[in-house]
Chains A and B, each alone.
Chain A
């Protein structure tokens, strides 16, 4: 018997959903990110206004002073939807686990100079309270913000910050004992060096405008804290003093910041490019929160850098300004 193999190519009747096709033009194949983002925000049939905020609908773009003709103009350059996000983080978590294993199994933590270990504990462990604040804030932006393109990455950011708080806790437990967590909490609650930053975090909890909160947390505070602590202090200064092991333990934070800053820049750029009003509003917020964050971080930087802190922080602020200038905002 003779069998002929034949290929039949079947052209799909439609490539994507109508609402996605309306946005990307024509019946083109859409990416999973586009399908998992566009027009997912509920927009109609809100029968009752929330009793806790009767001036607004449940989902209401007017909660923010930033105005967008279309809230789906925002784009996450990482194109994170649930699947892509969890895959990326699972991979990074494997690396982080391997790093912790490496440091632990070779006893590198015990080899750290005592003075350096104290500095690391004093500087890094209280930061888990800051990360927890960032977790709360991003969850709030997601809850009160508008449009999936803007809010979706915030909930990922929120989970990332929870992860960072956990990594910082593990660094503390690896270098010290459970007491270090209590000591760090005590420092966070009453040590002079931390009160400025604590006030910043607590003040951000009551910011009502979701976009202002975005600026306060993701643009200003993270934009200064991560380059200062994880790049300037841990990767440069401490590593040079024999703290390479610490840089390994905080590798996730360094990589994560490098990645998320692309998303933050894209968001600021899109909002600022929309209108002159948006740009002016953003500049006002960024200057206000940047100056507060810089002032709050100075005593924290002094914990590790002593008199060198001012110069390093000034450098970090300079880089921050250059970065935002690229995003179209003059601060």
Chain B
């Protein structure tokens, strides 16, 4: 299996996003670099809108993710509710 990753800036906007990803993807590894958080995961990584909304108490548009997004790798499957990174086996 190969690794997918998503890298986000470290700030107050991304904190709930990172928390949500950690909760939804127990297999993910969080690497904290200066001003950046890189989240690696084997095979698949899911970012769920509902989990982020739970943490910020307001509606969240998954597109808001891109404001603080540095980079990502993997094939992207994007809907209104989920953004999934994966490598097709």
Seen from chain A, the residues whose Cβ lies within 8 Å of a Cβ on chain B are: 7, 9-10, 29, 31-32, 76-79, 259, 262-263
Contact = CB atoms under 8 A, between A and B. Distances in A.
Contacts of B33: 9
Contacts, number: 20
Contacts of B15: 29, 31
B53 to A, nearest CB: 10
Given A29-B15, A31-B12, A32-B12, A77 B57 contact: yes
Interface in B15-62: 15-16, 33-34, 56-58
B57 A79 contact: yes
A79 B55 CA distance: 9
A10 B34 contact: yes
Secondary structure type dominating chain A contacts: loop
Contacts of A79: 56-57
Interface of B: 12, 15-16, 33-34, 56-58
Q: Which 9 A-B pairs have the closest CB atoms?
A: A77-B57, A78-B57, A9-B34, A262-B57, A31-B15, A32-B12, A9-B33, A79-B57, A78-B58
A259 B34 contact: no
Given A31-B12, A32-B12, A76 B57 contact: yes
A29 B58 CA distance: 22
A263 B15 CA distance: 20
Nearest to B56: A79
Contacts of A263: 57
A77 B59 CA distance: 12
Contacts of A7: 34
Nearest to B15: A31
A5 to B, nearest CB: 14
20 contacts: A7-B34, A9-B33, A9-B34, A10-B34, A29-B15, A31-B12, A31-B15, A31-B16, A32-B12, A76-B57, A77-B56, A77-B57, A78-B56, A78-B57, A78-B58, A79-B56, A79-B57, A259-B58, A262-B57, A263-B57
Contacts of B56: 77-79
A217 B12 CA distance: 32
B80 to A, nearest CB: 19
A262 B58 CA distance: 9
A184 B33 CA distance: 60
A263 B57 CA distance: 8
